[in-house]
Amino acid sequence: MPRIADVSNVEKNFILEALTSSKLRLDGRQLDQYRSIDLTYGQQLGNATVTLGKTKVNVQISAEVTKPSEERKFDGIFTITTELSPIASPGFEIGRPTEQEVLLSRILEKAIRRSRAIDTESLCIVAGQKCWSVRADVHVLDFDGGLTDACCIATMAALHHFRRPEVSVEGERVTIHTMAERVPVPLSILHSPICVTFSFYADGELVLLDATAKEEQVREAEMVVTANDFEICQIAKHGGKPVDPAIVVKCFQVAISKAREMNKSMRARLTADLAKRDIRGQSAENERGEAPIG
């Protein structure tokens, strides 16, 4: 089984000592400073690439018409699939999902799907018979820590960008219009969750944001807090060294402010990209209903 090489004792001590004695990080960042986040949209609708320092994640959204599940007749289907392949890091392998991969997909699932960021009811076409199945494929292209944060931003950015074909229902007949025929519609997104990972050092006294792979290897505990502009959507501290409650509460506030900040820059990028597409003669209406047909 391939494994990422452990950090050597010398390097580990160096990182920890720099942190605890003078609050310095390897790359000179502030403790609560993210690496530079870059978001680019691909040629297709619903394709987003996020780079967070050296970490790179690509997400593609796709949709197809299927039959809804028996228990949820009025809901469409939304799934997120993640795969950590050797392309990202020599420590990842194809096949059986590792513990890290299970946790990543569980957190994304809780952050985006369980918190109902996508209104699945709007994906229903004919109750019990036809619905949209929207799928987000998360591809990790480069791994240098901060995977959860990057994957969550990329998935939300791609979901905001995606358009599905317009559908019209006349009695029993369902027509799916091509993109050229009718203006495609955006997904109905209820809120925009952002994951913020906190790494704890020195018995929870030091809290780092956006740790690199090396910093992740030497941390004592981690906590992922997912927030949108005004709510906490999910908290996950899967064990690790115990942390003081006061520090945990402080993390919630930080998560909300970071989420606001990131959502703001994400929206700016999105409007810029959609405006660019409009010039090229493609449909890019921001809001549903305002679309001029024809």
Partner 1 sequence: MPLDTTSTYSTTLLRLDGRRWNELRKISASISTQPTADGSSLVTTGNTSVVCTITGPREGRGQGDRTNAIVDTDINIAPFAQLDRRRVGRTDKRVQELQTTISQAFQAHLFTHLYPRSSILISLTVLSLDGGLLSTCLNAASIALIDAGVPMPSILASITTGTIIPTDNSLSRPEPVLDLNNAEEVELPFMNLATVRGQTGSEDQISVLLMETRVQMSEANNPLEIMLRIGLDGCAQVRSHLEEVIRRHGRRMTQGRR
For binding to partner 1 (CB under 8 A), which residues are involved? 99, 102-103, 105-106, 109-110, 114-115, 204, 220-221, 223, 227, 230-246, 248-249, 252-253, 256
Indicate the residue among 141 and 248 with the shorter CB distance to partner 1: 248
Indicate the residue among 65 and 209 with the shorter CB distance to partner 1: 209
Which tokens sit at 60?
A: 């593609």
CB of 242: closest distance to partner 1 in angstroms?
Answer: 3
CB of 235: closest distance to partner 1 in angstroms?
Answer: 4
CB of 148: closest distance to partner 1 in angstroms?
Answer: 13
CB of 39: closest distance to partner 1 in angstroms?
Answer: 25
The SS3 of residue 15 is helix
Q: How far apart are CA 231 and CA 227, in angstroms?
A: 6
User: Cβ distance 63 to 134 under 8 Å?
Assistant: yes
The Cβ of residue 119 has, within 10 Å, a number of other Cβ atoms equal to 14
What would the DSSP string read from start to end of 98-155?
A: PHHHHHHHHHHIIIIIITT-B-GGGGEEETTTEEEEEEEEEEEEE-SS-HHHHHHHHH
Indicate the residue among 127 and 190 with the shorter CB distance to partner 1: 190
Indicate the residue among 131 and 195 with the shorter CB distance to partner 1: 195
Which tokens sit at 54?
A: 């050296």
Indicate the residue among 7 and 236 with the shorter CB distance to partner 1: 236
Which tokens sit at 102?
A: 């299970």
CB of 111: closest distance to partner 1 in angstroms?
Answer: 10
